[in-house]
Chain A
Amino acid sequence: MSNEQLQTDEQGRLRHFLSIEGFRREQLLQILDTAESFAMLPGRQVKKVPLLRGKIITNLFFENSTRTRTTFELAAKLLSADVINFNVDISATSKGETLLDTLRNIEAMHSDMFVVRHSASGAAHFIARHAAPGVSVINAGDGRHAHPTQAMLDMFTIRRHKGDFTPLRIAIVGDVQHSRVARSQIMALNTLGVTEVRVIAPRTLLPADVRTLGVHVFHDLERGLQDVDVVIMLRLQHERMENALLPSAHEYFQLYGLTAERLQYAKPDAIVMHPGPINRGVEITSEVADGPQSVILQQVSYGIAIRMAVMSMALGNSGGEQSS
C-alpha cells in the first residue's frame, strides 16, 4: 500500500498523517491554509474552538518527549477534544507485550485518534495499518523516518516570513543522517517547489545517496550558506562523538556552528530556524539563536496551529474559520 493510499481516503481527504511523502503540493498548502485559520497574530492566544468536542485523542508516546507531547495536547484541547496521555513504559513492552497488544488495549478505550511517537522507523505506518477503521493516526516522530507535523510547522514559519516558496534556497545544517525532521523537511520543501534544498554536514552525518532525496550537498558551511533565504540548524546529539562520527563538539562548532559572522554569508534577510531543543555553543551561538533573524520561538507557537489543522482535518472537521 502506498503512502498516499494509506494517508488519504477515496476522496483524497486526510485520514492519517504519517509522512510528507505521498502528498501533493495542493494538499500541503491546504494544511498550511487550515493552520492559518487557527493561528492568531504572533503573541496572542489561539482561541479555543469546539470542532472536536466529544472526540478522544490519545497521545501514544513510546519515546519521551514532554515538549512535542505538550504541543499536541494543547492543540487537541484548543479543539475541545479530550486527551489521554499514554506514556508507554519501554521496559513493559520489552517484557513481552507487543506493540499490537498495546494498541488493542488502548483501542478498547475508544480513541478517535492516536498521536504516535516511537523509536522505530515505520512504527506510525504500522499502527495506521492495524488500527481499527475510523481511527486516525498522526505521526509525532518515528525513528529516523519522519516527523511530518514538525516539517509542516517549519513550512508554515517559512511561508509567514517569505510568502512564496518557489524562489527560495534553503540550507539544512547538521546531522541529517539521524534526523527524521530533516527528511520530512526536505520532502516538504521539494513538494512545495523551492528552488534549492542544500544539506551542509560532514560525510559521517549524511545518509547514503542523500542526493536522491533532491538536495545539493555541501561540506563547507560558508559556501553552503551563500545566498540562502532560510537556514535550518539541526540538533547534534552527544552520542555522535561516542560513535566515532565526529571527533568533538568543539571541532563541530568550529566547522559547522552557526555564528553571526557566518550567517552573513546567507542573504541579509535570511531567517534562522531550529526544531529544538537547541545546544547553545554546539550548533548555534546564543547571539544567533536569540538574534533578530531567529524565528525559533515562533516555530513553537506555530506548531500548535499546524497540529490543530492536521487533527481537525483528519477527524473530518477542517476549516477553523467557519466555525470560530
Chain B
Amino acid sequence: MIAVNLHIRGGRLIDPANGIDADLDLYLKHGRVHAVGKRPDGFRIDKTINARGKIVCPGLIDLGVHLREPGEEHKGTICSETAAAAKGGITTLICMPNTDPVIDTPAVWELIRRRAKACSNARVLAIGALTRKLAGEQLAEMGALKQAGCVAVSNARKRMANTLVTRHALEYASTFDLPVILCSEDPHLKADGCVHEGGIATRLGLPGIPSAAETVAVARDLALTEHTHSRSHFHTLSTGRAIEMIRQARHGGAKLSADVAIHQLFLLDTDVDGFNADCHVDPPFRTQTDRDILRQAVANGDIEVICSDHQPHEEDAKTAPFPLTAPGISGLETLLPLCLKLVEEGVLDLSTAIARLTHGPAQALGLPLGRLDVGHSADICIFDPDSIWTLHPAELHSGGKNTPFGDWEFRGKVTQTLFEGRITWNSES
C-alpha cells in the first residue's frame, strides 16, 4: 500500500544535518520530503501519522552490516535482516563484502540489490571488496564495482598479504574516490585470540587479543592513508589508544573518519566471564578505560559514526565451547535503544546521538542521505522516547537471536519506520 501524500503530525523533529530540533510537522509526497513545518497550499493528505509525544528523525544508516545472503542464508536473509532493520528504525544498510561469494564483482552486488529491492524493507548499499575474494593479494575490480554502485570498498576483517598490497589498494581506491573501510588488525598479534588480553583472559585460560593487535595496524593504516591521500574510514575501533591516534592524525589534516560498534560502549572484557559466548565479539570487549575513551570520542565528535556491527548467527554457531563459537552480535534492533541509553546516561544529547546514526555515516561515505531536507528521500524513523520495554532475544526479527542484551530494559521504542515514504514498520498496527 503506497500512501502518496503523508502527514506526520505533532512530533518533535530532530534533523541534526539541518540543525533542527523543534516541534515540526512533515509532509511527504511521492516518497520524498515535500515540506517541513507548514502544510503547503493545496497539499491533499491521504494519511496522517500521529507523532504526538514522539521523536521524528531521519531513518538510521547502519555502516558495515553483515547481511549473510548470498551464502549463509541459515544465519539470515536479505529479507529477514532488512525487516529487522525496519523494526530498528534503520532505513539504509551498508553491507560488508564478505558474503559467499564475496562482493568482488558487479554480478554479486546485482544479486543483492535485486533481492533487497524485492523485499523493499530498507535501502541496501554495498561495500565492495578491496581485493579479489578478499584474499588480500590481488586488487578487486574496484572501478567496475564503483560503476555498479558500490559506495565504498573494504577487505572486511580478512588479512592483507602485505603492506605493499594495502598501499596499492588504497591508492587504486582513491583513483575512483572510493572510501576505504578499514578493519585494522594485525593478524599475527591476534593469532588465535578470542578475548581481550588481560586479567580475565588469563584467569579463564582463553587466548587473548592484545590491544596492540589494533594499534599496530591502525598506526600502519594511518601512515598509509596519509601517504596515499586516500579516504579512509576506520571501522569498529575498540581501543582508547587507537582513538587517540585517529585524533592526532586528523589534526594533522588526514581525510578520515571512524566508527565504533554500539556494544563496545556498554560491555567490558569482564563480561565474558563464565564463558559467555554472547559476549564473543571481534574486536573483543576491552577495558573500562577503553570504553570510557570510546564514549568520550563519540560525545566530542572524534568518532562521528556509531554502528551495530550486525552479525546474525544461527543458534549452533554460539552453542560450543567459547573459543569455538562464532564472534558477533545481532545488533540491528538494539542500535537505537542502546544509543538512547547513552542519552539517558548523559553521555550524549539526543540530537548528537541521532547525528551519529544518520548524518555521521552519510558524511563519512559522502551519501546524500540521513537528512530531511525538502526533496530528499522520505526515510524516517519515529520513536516513542518514553516507552519502556524489555528485550527478549527470541522476539528479534533478525535471523540471528545472538545478543548479550537479553533481559535488558530499554526506554525508547521505534513506533514507525518509513522507507521512501512507505511505512515499513509500524508497532501500532
Name A residues whose Cβ lies closer than 8 Å to a Cβ of B: 1-3, 21, 98-100, 118, 120-123, 125-126, 130, 142-146, 180, 183, 207-210, 212-213
Contact B204 A208 (CB under 8 A): no
A142-B321 contact, Cβ under 8 Å, with A125-B275, A208-B202: yes
Closest to A179 in B: B205
Contact B203 A21 (CB under 8 A): yes
Contact B321 A118 (CB under 8 A): yes
A100-B319 contact, Cβ under 8 Å, with A183-B203, A208-B208, A210-B202: yes
Closest to A124 in B: B321
Number of residues on chain B facing chain A (CB within 8 A): 21
Of the candidates B199, B210, B316, B320, the one whose C-beta lies within 8 Å of that of A212 is: B199
Q: Which A residues lie within 8 Å of B201 (CB)?
A: 207-208
**Would you mind naming 24 contact pairs between A and B with Cβ atoms under 8 Å apart?**
A2-B274, A99-B320, A120-B320, A120-B323, A121-B205, A121-B206, A121-B207, A121-B275, A121-B321, A121-B322, A122-B204, A125-B321, A126-B321, A126-B322, A143-B205, A144-B206, A145-B205, A183-B203, A207-B201, A208-B202, A208-B210, A209-B199, A210-B202, A213-B203
Name B residues whose Cβ lies closer than 8 Å to a Cβ of A: 197-199, 201-208, 210, 274-275, 316, 319-324
Q: Which A residues lie within 8 Å of B198 (CB)?
A: 208-209
Q: Which A residues lie within 8 Å of B321 (CB)?
A: 99, 118, 120-123, 125-126, 142-143
- When chains A and B are docked, how far (Å) is the Cα of A273 from the Cα of B323? 31
Contact B324 A120 (CB under 8 A): yes
Contact A3 B202 (CB under 8 A): no
Chain B proximity of A216: nearest CB distance (Å): 15
Q: Which A residues lie within 8 Å of B202 (CB)?
A: 183, 207-210, 212-213
Q: How many A-B residue pairs have CB under 8 A?
A: 78
Contact B320 A144 (CB under 8 A): no
Q: Which A residues lie within 8 Å of B320 (CB)?
A: 98-100, 120, 126
- When chains A and B are docked, how far (Å) is the Cα of A24 from the Cα of B323? 28
- When chains A and B are docked, how far (Å) is the Cα of A209 from the Cα of B324? 24
Of the candidates A125, A209, A210, the one whose C-beta lies within 8 Å of that of B274 is: A125
Other CB < 8 Å A-B pairs besides A143-B205, A144-B206, A145-B206, 18 of them?
Answer: A21-B203, A98-B320, A99-B321, A100-B316, A121-B275, A121-B321, A122-B206, A122-B323, A123-B321, A126-B320, A142-B321, A146-B205, A180-B205, A183-B205, A207-B201, A207-B202, A212-B202, A213-B202
The 9 residue pairs across chains A and B that have the minimum distance between CB atoms: A145-B205, A144-B205, A122-B275, A120-B321, A212-B199, A123-B321, A207-B202, A122-B322, A209-B199
Chain B proximity of A124: nearest CB distance (Å): 8
Contact B274 A143 (CB under 8 A): no
Closest to A118 in B: B321
Q: Which B residues lie within 8 Å of A207 (CB)?
A: 201-202, 208
- When chains A and B are docked, how far (Å) is the Cα of A63 from the Cα of B321? 14
- When chains A and B are docked, how far (Å) is the Cα of A207 from the Cα of B201? 9
